[in-house]
Amino acid sequence: MNKDAPRWPLPKHDYWSTPFAESLLQHLDLRPGLRILDIASGHGIPAFYLAEQIGPTGEVLAIDMSAGQVARAKAIQGSELPWLQFECMDMRSLRSDLPTFDRITGNLSVMFFRPNRFQTVQGLVEHLAPGGQLVLTFPSYGTFDSLWQSVDQAMAQQGLIKERERFQDYLKERPSAQDGRCWLEQLGLERVGAFEYPLEVKTGAGQEFLYHPLLRGGFLDDVYECFENQFLAEAFMKQISEAIQGFTPLIAQRCVLSGWNKS
């Protein structure tokens, strides 16, 4: 691995993707010349870093379903790192003509594998070269549990029966570290590991909570989606936001799944 200070470091101002990427890199075996598939690549964390580390003798294909994210990543890249390619592609149904890869990485990826998470991981493993490594990160079961308990209790107290049923369905399908370990073991990978690292997400009450960049557009939206009446959802979430002392600190569990294909 390149020992010099990277020109494409993980950005310090990204308080969500970067901590997960740091945990991914703790378990990823990198060296020059590798062929890497980076799924759910977003705007390039950690694709740019990976490309710099493997150098021009390697290749990185970074894919994301969002055309906007891919366009943003390409704009950041410009003419740099020509062995890094960004492409709009659904990781849940990879093209059959793709080659196999020495490493397959996915930062904050597993939450996008719904509804068929195991089948998605299976499809990834089919593109993993013999002796290759798969490393995925995601916020695992236990993430923001204190918040979800407050939401569930408030729904019960307010008689929001249908909304609570939908919310319970959401809670039940959250993957755990053990779920991830079982997927990789069932697929015959070796040296399988599932590792968790806590991450505190700090927020204030009211609008700061409701529009927190690490919460809105993701976790909080899962609560809003339980409501058919969005005016009711807004009123409910406003009440939650004003009582954050009941569920802070908010702790996310950064889970890293790692496994190796048989040589």
Which residue, chain included where needed, has tokens 């959401």?
170
Q: At what angle do helices 47-54 and 67-77 cross, to 10 degrees?
A: 40
Strand boundaries in the chain, DSSP class E: 35-39, 59-64, 84-88, 101-106, 128-139, 190-201, 250-260
Amino acid 56: pLDDT? 97
Token output for 37:
């598939």
Q: What is the dihedral of CA 133, 27, 199, 108, to 10 degrees?
A: -20
How far, in Å, are 29, 178, 257 from residue 10 at the CA level?
17, 28, 20
pLDDT in tens, the chain (263 residues): 445 667 899 999 898 999 999 999 999 999 999 999 999 999 999 999 999 999 999 999 999 999 999 999 999 999 999 999 999 999 999 988 999 999 999 999 998 898 889 999 999 999 999 999 999 999 999 999 999 999 999 999 999 999 999 999 999 889 999 999 999 999 999 999 999 999 999 999 999 999 998 898 789 999 999 999 999 999 999 999 999 999 999 999 999 999 999 99
Selection from 16, 17, 61 nearest residue 35 by Cα: 61
In sign, the C-alpha dihedral spanning 171, 176, 180, 185 is: negative
What domains can you pick out in the chain, each with its CATH number?
Answer: 17-140+175-200+253-260 (3.40.50.150), 145-170+204-246 (no CATH)
Contact call for residues 54 and 30 (beta carbons, < 8 A): yes
In sign, the C-alpha dihedral spanning 89, 94, 97, 98 is: positive
First CA to last CA distance, the chain: 22
How far, in Å, are 42, 48, 178 from residue 88 at the CA level?
10, 16, 31
Amino acid 4: pLDDT? 63
Please tell me the distance from the alpha carbon of residue 178 to that of residue 216, in angstroms, as a whole number. Answer: 27
Q: What pTM was computed for the model?
A: 0.92
